[in-house]
Copies of this chain bind each other. A is one copy, B any other.
Amino acid sequence: MAITLITGGVRSGKSRYALKMALSYKRRLFIATAVAFDDEMKKRIEKHKQERGNLFKTIEEPVYLSRALDGANNFDVCLIDCLTVWVSNLLFYKKEAQIEAFFKALDKITSDVVVVSNEVGLGIMPDNTLSRRYVDLLGEVNQKLADVSDRVVFMISGQPLNVKS
């Protein structure tokens, strides 16, 4: 199996590119980590759902990604969108231990995996401790994932830039 990390900024075309990649496979699983806390979030989630249509079997899993991955071996590709929200959820629910579980599950999976994440550390650092803790944790997760990935793509204005391949 091959792991691909698609990273980049907000509205850089990460999800669209990841979808396109996944559509080249036959049996497709989509793992959504977002939970609708408010109307804005609800809208974003709805928009993404419509873009996917019924091209994927979808699982919504905000916290226990490792469990969701356990059911992924019946599929040719598993698209996880996205780690950005997942790491935020882990902090909120105090479930950081799920990170290790995720990497263990990833190590055992047989289907190809495409993971969407964000770069969030390229602006001025926010002056609150929680945000800095979030930036640190997501950065560490991204580094770990890139390390075990076969391919890392950085999206800029919708264009893919190969960082590792």
Q: Decide: A142 near B157, CB < 8 A? Known: A10-B135, A10-B136, A136-B10.
A: yes
A127 to B40, CA, bound (A): 12
Residues A161 and B154 in contact, CB atoms below 8 Å apart: yes
Residues of A at the B interface (CB closer than 8 Å) are 5, 7-13, 40, 117, 119-126, 129, 131-132, 134-136, 138-140, 142-147, 152, 154, 156-159, 161, 163-164
Q: Which of B5, B9, B126, B146 contacts A139 (CB 8 A)?
A: B9
A122 to B117, CA, bound (A): 11
Residues A119 and B152 in contact, CB atoms below 8 Å apart: no
Q: Which of B117, B120, B163 contacts A123 (CB 8 A)?
A: B120
